[in-house]
Structure 1
Amino acid sequence: MRNVLRTWRDEIKKTFSGRADAPPDWTVRLADGDDAGYHLPGSAVWAVHGSMTPIVGGIRTLLMQSLHPGALAGVHEHSNFRDDPLRRLANTIRWIFTVTYGSTAAAEEATRRVRRLHEPVQGNYLNNDGEVRTYSANDPALANWIHLAFTDGFLAAHKLWGGDVPGGADAYVREWAQAGRLMGVEDPPLTEAQLRSQLDRWYTQGGLRADARVRETVEFIRDAPLHPLLRPGYRILFAAAVYSLEPRYREMLGLSVPRLGRFPLPVRLTTKVVLGVVHLALGGPRRQMGPSETAARQRLKRLGEPVADVA
Structure 2
Amino acid sequence: MNPQERPSWRQQSPEVQQQVRQDSEHFRKCLDYLREHSAGEHEGFYGPDSMTWVIYREPVILLGGLRAILLQIAHPAVAIGVAQNSNFRGDLLGRARRTYTAMYQLVFGGLPEAMGAAKRVHSLHSRVNGALPAGAGPQGEGRYRANDPLLQRWVLATLIDGAMEVFETFVRPLSTEEKRRFYEESRLAAAQFGLLPEQMPPTLEAFYAWYHEQLAGDALRVGDTARELAGLLFNSPFTRGQLDELLTAGLLPQRWREAYGLAWGLGQQRAWRLLKGTMRRAINLTPPTLRCVTAWHQAQMRLAQARGARPTVMARVLNTLDSYVDVPFSIRPVAAKTPAADRD
1:223 equivalent in alignment to 2:235: yes
Q: Which residue of 1 aligns with 2:14?
A: none
Q: Over residues 108-148 of structure 1, what are the superposed CA-to-partner deviations in whole Å (9 max), with x where a residue is unaligned? A: 11011111111221012133589443111112111111101
More helix, by proportion? 2
1:48 equivalent in alignment to 2:64: no
The Cα shift of 1:276 comes to 8.2
3-state SS of the aligned residue for 1:266? helix
In structure 2, do the counterparts of structure 1 residues 190 and 52 end up closer, same or farther at CA, with 3 Å as the change threshold? farther
Q: Which residue of 1 aligns with 2:340?
A: none
In structure 2, do the counterparts of structure 1 residues 165 and 73 end up closer, same or farther at CA, with 3 Å as the change threshold? same
In structure 2, do the counterparts of structure 1 residues 238 and 176 end up closer, same or farther at CA, with 3 Å as the change threshold? farther
Contact 1:36 1:305 in 2 (8 A): no
**Separation in structure 2 between the aligned mates of residue 310 and residue 151 of structure 1, nearest angstrom:** 32
5+ unaligned residues in a row in structure 1: which ranges?
Answer: 1-32
- Dislocated runs of 4+, deviation >4 Å: 164-167, 271-277, 305-311
1:266 equivalent in alignment to 2:271: yes
Q: Over residues 53-77 of structure 1, what are the superposed CA-to-partner deviations in whole Å (9 max), with x where a residue is unaligned? A: 2122111101101101111111100
TM-score (norm 2): 0.68
1:160 equivalent in alignment to 2:169: yes
3-state SS of the aligned residue for 2:59? coil
Q: Which residue of 1 aligns with 2:191?
A: 181
3-state SS of the aligned residue for 1:264? helix
In structure 2, do the counterparts of structure 1 residues 276 and 204 end up closer, same or farther at CA, with 3 Å as the change threshold? closer
In structure 2, do the counterparts of structure 1 residues 306 and 161 end up closer, same or farther at CA, with 3 Å as the change threshold? farther
1:169 equivalent in alignment to 2:176: no
Q: Which residue of 1 aligns with 2:247?
A: 240
1:27-106 maps to which residues of 2 (within 5 A)? 34-106=41-113
In structure 2, do the counterparts of structure 1 residues 247 and 80 end up closer, same or farther at CA, with 3 Å as the change threshold? same
In structure 2, do the counterparts of structure 1 residues 258 and 173 end up closer, same or farther at CA, with 3 Å as the change threshold? farther
The structure with more radius of gyration: 2
3-state SS of the aligned residue for 1:265? helix
**Separation in structure 2 between the aligned mates of residue 236 and residue 40 of structure 1, nearest angstrom:** 34
**Separation in structure 2 between the aligned mates of residue 170 and residue 156 of structure 1, nearest angstrom:** 14
5+ unaligned residues in a row in structure 2: which ranges?
Answer: 1-39, 315-344
3-state SS of the aligned residue for 1:38? coil
In structure 2, do the counterparts of structure 1 residues 224 and 271 end up closer, same or farther at CA, with 3 Å as the change threshold? farther
**Separation in structure 2 between the aligned mates of residue 256 and residue 231 of structure 1, nearest angstrom:** 15
Of structures 1 and 2, the one with the larger relative CO (CA 8 A, separation 6+) is 1
Q: Which residue of 2 aligns with 1:107?
A: 114
Q: Which residue of 2 aligns with 1:144?
A: 153
Contact 2:301 2:311 in 1 (8 A): no
Q: Which residue of 1 aligns with 2:207?
A: 195
Q: Over residues 156-211 of structure 1, what are the superposed CA-to-partner deviations in whole Å (9 max), with x where a residue is unaligned? A: 11111123558422222221331111211242345432332222343455321211
**Separation in structure 2 between the aligned mates of residue 159 and residue 308 of structure 1, nearest angstrom:** 30
**Separation in structure 1 between the aligned mates of residue 210 and residue 309 of structure 2, nearest angstrom:** 36
Alignment identity in percent? 24
**Separation in structure 2 between the aligned mates of residue 220 and residue 58 of structure 1, nearest angstrom:** 14
